[in-house]
Amino acid sequence: MKKVNCIVVDDEPLARDVIENYISRIESVNLIASCKNVYEAFNILQKHKIDLIFLDIHMPEIKGTDFFKELNQAPAVIFTTAYSDYAAKAYDLGAIDYLVKPIEFTRFLKSIGRVLKHIDYPVIMNNKKPHGIEDFIYLKIEKKLQKIFLKNILYIESSNNNIKVKMIYREVIAHKKISEIYESLPKHKFIRVHRSFIISIDHIDSFSPVEIEIKKIKIPVGRKYRENVKTQLGYY
């Protein structure tokens, strides 16, 4: 079995002990190092092939989020913190997950499940394309170009000449046509299901020939799009 090589970065010894203990129970995850600061972590990243970082946000001198942003080619990351108000920022950076301390083992297992699902599409912070596909797009929002990570998008809704991009923890509105945004999205990850809707395949909870449900939101499948949706999602 190919294992996920990971490191833990946290200035609190007890917090490191908890995550180390959890990792030791999971056969598919291999702990390479446990670091008390980002300097130790940086040295480990130079010497080893690391797939995943468990990274505390609040640490002396440098925040975990700032450290992650500065990495040229970062592994997947799960942020850990005692505070819940950094979730949106963490997901905007492309985090696989965001764990609030004290972390329960069942919640930790859920994060590992997400890692195993997404590990073939690592977060790349140097603007290169993983497997030929960019993991983010830029949208002009309030006169600024904002980076939007594809894995955070639930669906996109058209409204006149604007689009509303609904993400896991927030939504934004950009002045763009839905046909234009669709052309910039990977077709194995997104489907246009209606003249007013594009949906993320990864976030589908349930579907039928006429309706798709994502996070309790029911999205209609337009008549002219049904055959394509049917083929791509594989129902008959």
Residues 105-142 have pLDDT tens digits of 988 988 888 888 766 433 333 333 433 345 788 888 87
pLDDT number for residue 15:
94
pLDDT number for residue 1:
56
The pairs formed by 18-25 with CB atoms below 8 angstroms and a separation of 24 or more are 18/102, 18/103, 19/54, 19/80, 19/103, 19/108, 22/103, 22/105, 22/108, 25/105
**Which are the contacts of 94, defined by CB distance < 8 A and separation ≥ 6?**
77, 123, 125, 135, 136, 149, 151, 152
The strand ranges marked E within 70-135 are 76-81, 97-100
Same domain, 111 and 185: no
The domain in which residue 207 lies consists of 137-233
* Residue bearing the bigger pLDDT, 101 or 235: 101
Same domain, 99 and 150: no
pTM for the model stands at 0.53
The number of distinct structural domains making up the chain is 2
Out of 83, 118, 153, a domain closes at 118
pLDDT number for residue 123:
36
Minimum mean pLDDT range among 41-55, 69-83, 189-203: 69-83
Structural element, H or E, at residue 199: strand 197-200
Residue 206 is part of a domain; what is its CATH number? Answer: 2.40.50.1020
Same domain, 30 and 78: yes
Q: How far apart are CA 19 and CA 231, in angstroms?
A: 42
Same domain, 180 and 85: no
Q: How far apart are CA 91 and CA 86, in angstroms?
A: 9
Question: Is residue 213 predicted with pLDDT exceeding 90?
Answer: yes
Which pLDDT band holds residue 235 (cuts at 50, 70, 90)?
Answer: low
Neighbours of 99 (CB within 10 A): 20
- Find the angle CA(140)-CA(188)-CA(153) to the nearest 5 degrees: 40
Asked if residue 21 belongs to a domain, the reply is yes
pLDDT digits (tens, 9 = 90+) for 7-66: 999 999 999 999 999 999 898 899 999 999 999 999 999 999 999 999 999 998 889 989
Asked if residue 36 belongs to a domain, the reply is yes
Same domain, 106 and 30: yes
